Amino acid sequence: MNNADFSSTRALALGDPMVIQPGRLTDRLLARARGASLDQQLAAGWAPESSRLLAARAQRIVSLPRRIALAGNWDHLLRVARRAPSRRVAPVPLRAAAILAAEPAIRELVERLTAPLPVGARGVAAASVLLTDPASPVYSGRSGRSPRSLADLLQDAILQLDPARPLMCAS
């Protein structure tokens, strides 16, 4: 194969919207810096392939090491929720009763996150947003924004983590 053949084949492959192009360093750095807002967008259903930053963020959060770390954070949340409340004021007030009531869903979420199967970015982002957003039903601060229970929101994330679901949105 000569250079002309190679470059035309490569151009066709890279022009395919289903081929993930290697990310640029600036995209990865910006995606890391804007992680929370990009996670919100992914959790809301924005297609990862709709922008370079969303694609870079999605690629990062679906990696198995990142998913295992997120699962560990959910496990830690359960351990903290089980502790007896102390007299001192917690820096982040948790809704321990809601967390413990959702324990079966949290266990299933952890299982899905740690499975060595590919999963969609939307489910990983949803699990991350529930854990990090102060308006999430996990926290007692401003949790009144969502009328849905923590268990219901976790079930949505779990459904998005089903390995049988398509990993990329259909165009």
pLDDT digits (tens, 9 = 90+) for 88-130: 666 678 899 999 999 999 999 999 999 999 998 999 999 999 9
CA dihedral 3, 9, 11, 15 (to 10 degrees): -170
Residues 45-96 pLDDT 10s = 888 888 888 888 888 899 999 999 999 999 999 999 988 676 666 667 889 9
Other CB atoms within 10 Å distance of the CB of residue 48: 25
What Rg, from alpha-carbon coordinates, does the chain have? 19
pTM score: 0.76
